[in-house]
C-alpha cells in the first residue's frame, strides 16, 4: 500500500555563505525568526564541509569570497546535489542576472539586502522545491507501484498457469479470456479466446450450464455443481463471479464417482443379502424352532393324561414349564415376524406399516399417528415393499432409542409419480450434519442404511431436525 506524500522534516533549510560576519548574523536572525532554520559559513570550503553533515534546501552565497567564490561554489554544489543556490553580491558590475541564471543559480540578489523581498523570493523557491520533490516522489511511487503490479501479475500468471485445477476466465458476456495449462491438458478441443463458454465450448452438459453462468455473472452469486456429468467424465464445477466476469474451475472427480458407485453397489448388495438372510432365518424360526417348541409344549400339556396319581406340585411345575415354552414360542414368532412380516405379503405395504405402528405404540410409551392414502390402485414389487417397511422400522427404532419423544406421525402418501414417506416426532432433535459425521466415525449404520435403502429404490432422502425442535424424515420414491 502506497502512503501519502510527507515532506522530510529538516532542521535546517538555508545555508548562508558570506565572509562578512554582519551579513551572517543578520540573515541568521531573519531566517530563524521565520522558522526556516539557518546555518552559516564564512567560506566556500566551510560551506561544503557543512553540507557533508546536513541536508540543505537552499544555499545563499556571496559572489566575492576568498578561496572559492560564489560561482565556483555553485559548480561544486551542483556536481554533488540538486540544492538550489542563490547568488548575492554588492558589486553590480561583476556579472549580469542572465549569466548567473545560465550558470545554474535559482536567483540573483543585490546587496544591501531588503529582508522582506529576500524572504518572499526564498519562500517561493522553497515552495517550488517542495513541488518538485512531491512530483519526483509521485513518479518514484508510480514506478514502484508498476513494479509491484508487474511482479504480482507474474506471480498470478505463474500460479494460474501451473495450478493443477483446470481454470477458465470469462468476461461479462461469458466469452473466454484465458485458461491455464491444466485446462489445456484435459484432452479434447482446446478452447479459444473469444469462445462463449458452455455454448461454443464445453456445451455437452446435462443441464444448461450457459444459463447458469450468465446468472452467476448477473447476480454475483457463486455456484457449485458437484459431480456434473460431462461426456464420459464427472466434474466438480465451481463458478465464481468477479468484477469483469467469472472464473470457472473444474476438478475431474470421475474416479471418486466410480468409487462411490462401487461402494453404494456393495452397500446395496449387502442390504439385499441381509434381507435374504433375514427371510431365511425367519422361515427357520417359524417352520422349525417354533414348530418344535409348540410340539414340546403340547407334550408337556398332555404328559400326565391318564395318570391321576401325579401330585399337584409336580403338575404345577410342569404347567410352569409349559407357560415358559408358550412365552418362548411367542418371542420366536415375534422375531420371525420382525424379520419377515407376514402382513406385508398378505395385506400389502400400507396395512403392514399400519399394523407395525399399532404394535410399536403398544410396546413403547408414546403415541403413534399412522395414516396412508393413494394405495388403492398401486401395485408394488416385494423389494420396494420390504425396503420401505425396513425404512419405517429403522426410523421408528431411532425414535425409541434417541428422540425421547411423546408422539410420532407416520404418513405414506402416493402422489404421482412418487411414494412419499414422512415420519415426524416431537423429540429432542439433533444437529443433522454433526450426527451424520458422528455416525460415520462410529460406524453406526442406522441413518446410513435408511439412506441406502431409499437410494436402492432410486429415491431421495432428507432429514430436517433442530435441537429441542423434533425431527422430520422425508423420502420420495418413484413408483409410477
State the pLDDT at residue 440: 61
Task: State the pTM of this model.
Answer: 0.48
Mean pLDDT on 127-149: 88
| Dihedral sign (CA 356, 360, 361, 367) | negative
Q: What is residue 238's predicted lDDT score, i.e. its pLDDT?
A: 93
pLDDT value of residue 1:
45
Mean pLDDT of 162-174: 88
Q: CA of 96: how far to CAs of 102, 109, 110, 442, in Å?
A: 10, 11, 11, 100
Question: Region 402-423: what's the mean pLDDT?
Answer: 93
Cβ atoms of residues 477 and 457 within 8 Å: yes
Q: What is the pLDDT of residues 223-255, one digit of tens each?
A: 999 888 887 788 889 999 988 899 998 888 778
pLDDT at residue 185 tops 70 = no
Burial 33-55 (b: 16+ CB within 10 A, else e): eeebbbbbbbbbbebbebbeeee
In the predicted structure, residue 421 carries a pLDDT above the cut 90? yes
> Is the pLDDT confidence value at 477 over 90?
yes
pLDDT of 184 over the 60 cut: no
Q: Residue 187's pLDDT is what?
A: 54
- pLDDT, residue 449, reads 79
For the chain, what is the largest distance between any 2 Cα atoms, rounded to a whole number of angstroms? 167
Q: Do residues 234 and 206 make contact, with C-beta atoms less than 8 angstroms apart?
A: no
Provide the pLDDT for residue 273.
79
8 Å CB contact between 368 and 410: yes
> 100: pLDDT confidence band, cut at 50, 70 and 90?
confident
Q: Residue 186: which pLDDT band, with cuts at 50, 70 and 90?
A: low
Tens digits of residue pLDDT in 73-83: 999 999 988 89
Q: Which of these, 322, 323, 358, lies nearest to 337 by C-alpha position?
A: 358
**Confidence at residue 460, expressed as pLDDT on a 0 to 100 scale:** 92
pLDDT in tens, 216-230: 999 999 999 988 888
What is the pLDDT of the chain when averaged over all its residues? 85
Kindly state the average pLDDT of the residues 426-442: 77
Banded pLDDT at 318 (limits 50, 70, 90)? confident
Position 395 scores a pLDDT of 92
| pLDDT tops 90 at residue 270 | no
At 261, which helix (H) or strand (E)?
helix 254-284
Which of 15-19, 190-194, 282-286, 346-350 is predicted least confidently?
282-286
Say yes or no to pLDDT of 5 above 60. Answer: no
Distance from C-alpha of 432 to C-alpha of 455, rounded to nearest angstrom: 19
At 418, is the pLDDT very low, low, confident or very high (cuts 50, 70, 90)? very high
Q: Is the pLDDT of residue 211 over 70?
A: yes
Where does the pLDDT of residue 445 fall: very low under 50, low under 70, confident under 90, or very high at 90 and above?
low
Averaged pLDDT, 458-472: 91
What is the residue-wise DSSP string for 370-387? EEEES-TT----HHHHHH
The mean pLDDT value for 198-211 works out to 87
Task: Return the H-helix or E-strand segment holding 300.
Answer: helix 290-301
**Tally of residues, the chain:** 480
Residue 4 in this model has a pLDDT that exceeds 70 = no
d(CA 416, CA 479): 8
Which residues lie below 8 Å from residue 219, measured CB to CB, with a gap of 6+? Answer: 241
Is the model more confident about 366 or about 2?
A: 366
Amino acid at each position: 500500500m502506497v502512503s501519502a506524500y510527507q515532506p522530510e522534516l529538516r532542521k535546517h533549510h538555508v545555508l548562508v555563505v558570506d565572509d562578512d560576519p554582519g551579513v551572517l548574523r543578520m540573515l541568521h536572525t531573519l531566517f530563524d525568526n521565520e522558522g526556516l532554520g539557518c546555518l552559516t559559513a564564512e567560506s566556500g570550503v566551510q560551506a561544503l564541509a557543512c553540507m557533508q553533515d546536513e541536508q540543505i534546501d537552499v544555499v545563499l552565497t556571496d559572489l566575492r569570497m576568498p578561496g572559492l567564490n560564489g560561482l565556483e561554489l555553485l559548480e561544486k554544489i551542483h556536481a554533488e546535489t540538486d540544492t538550489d543556490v542563490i547568488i548575492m553580491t554588492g558589486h553590480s558590475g561583476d556579472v549580469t542576472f542572465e549569466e548567473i541564471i545560465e550558470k545554474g543559480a535559482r536567483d540573483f540578489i543585490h546587496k544591501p539586502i531588503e529582508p522582506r523581498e529576500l524572504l518572499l523570493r526564498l519562500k517561493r523557491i522553497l515552495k517550488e522545491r517542495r513541488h518538485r520533490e512531491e512530483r519526483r516522489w509521485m513518479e518514484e511511487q508510480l514506478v514502484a507501484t508498476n513494479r509491484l503490479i508487474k511482479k504480482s501479475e507474474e506471480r498470478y500468471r505463474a500460479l494460474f498457469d501451473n495450478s493443477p485445477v483446470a481454470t477458465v476466465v470469462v468476461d461479462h458476456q461469458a466469452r473466454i479470456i484465458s485458461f491455464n495449462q491444466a485446462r489445456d491438458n484435459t484432452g479434447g478441443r482446446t478452447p479459444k479466446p473469444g469462445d462463449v463458454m458452455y455454448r461454443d465450448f464445453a456445451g455437452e452438459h446435462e443441464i444448461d450450464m450457459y444459463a447458469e453462468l450468465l446468472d452467476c455473472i448477473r447476480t454475483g452469486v457463486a455456484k457449485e455443481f458437484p459431480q456434473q456429468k460431462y461426456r464420459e467424465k464427472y466434474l466438480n464445477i465451481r463458478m465464481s463471479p468477479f468484477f469483469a466476469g467469472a472464473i470457472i474451475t473444474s476438478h475431474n472427480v470421475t474416479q471418486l464417482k466410480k468409487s462411490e458407485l462401487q461402494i453404494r453397489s456393495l452397500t446395496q448388495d449387502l442390504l439385499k443379502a441381509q434381507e435374504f438372510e433375514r427371510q431365511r432365518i425367519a422361515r427357520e424360526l417359524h417352520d422349525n424352532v417354533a414348530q418344535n417348541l409348540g410340539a414340546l409344549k403340547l407334550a408337556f400339556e398332555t404328559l400326565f393324561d391318564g395318570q391321576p396319581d401325579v401330585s399337584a406340585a409336580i403338575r404345577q411345575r410342569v404347567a410352569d414349564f409349559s407357560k415358559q415354552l408358550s412365552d418362548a414360542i411367542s418371542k420366536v414368532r415375534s422375531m420371525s415376524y420382525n424379520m419377515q412380516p407376514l402382513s406385508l405379503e398378505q395385506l400389502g405395504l400400507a396395512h403392514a406399516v399400519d399394523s407395525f405402528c399399532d404394535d410399536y405404540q403398544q410396546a413403547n410409551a408414546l403415541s403413534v399417528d399412522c395414516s396412508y392414502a393413494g394405495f388403492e390402485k398401486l401395485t408394488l414389487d416385494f423389494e420396494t415393499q420390504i425396503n420401505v417397511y425396513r425404512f419405517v422400522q429403522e426410523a421408528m427404532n431411532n425414535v425409541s432409542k434417541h428422540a425421547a419423544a411423546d408422539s410420532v406421525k407416520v404418513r405414506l402418501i402416493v402422489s404421482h409419480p412418487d411414494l412419499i414417506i414422512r415420519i415426524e416426532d416431537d423429540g429432542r432433535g439433533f444437529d443433522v450434519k454433526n450426527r451424520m459425521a458422528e455416525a460415520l466415525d462410529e460406524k453406526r449404520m442406522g441413518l446410513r442404511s435408511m439412506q441406502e435403502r431409499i437410494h436402492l429404490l432410486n429415491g431421495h432422502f432428507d432429514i430436517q431436525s433442530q435441537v429441542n425442535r423434533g425431527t422430520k424424515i422425508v423420502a420420495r420414491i418413484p413408483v409410477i
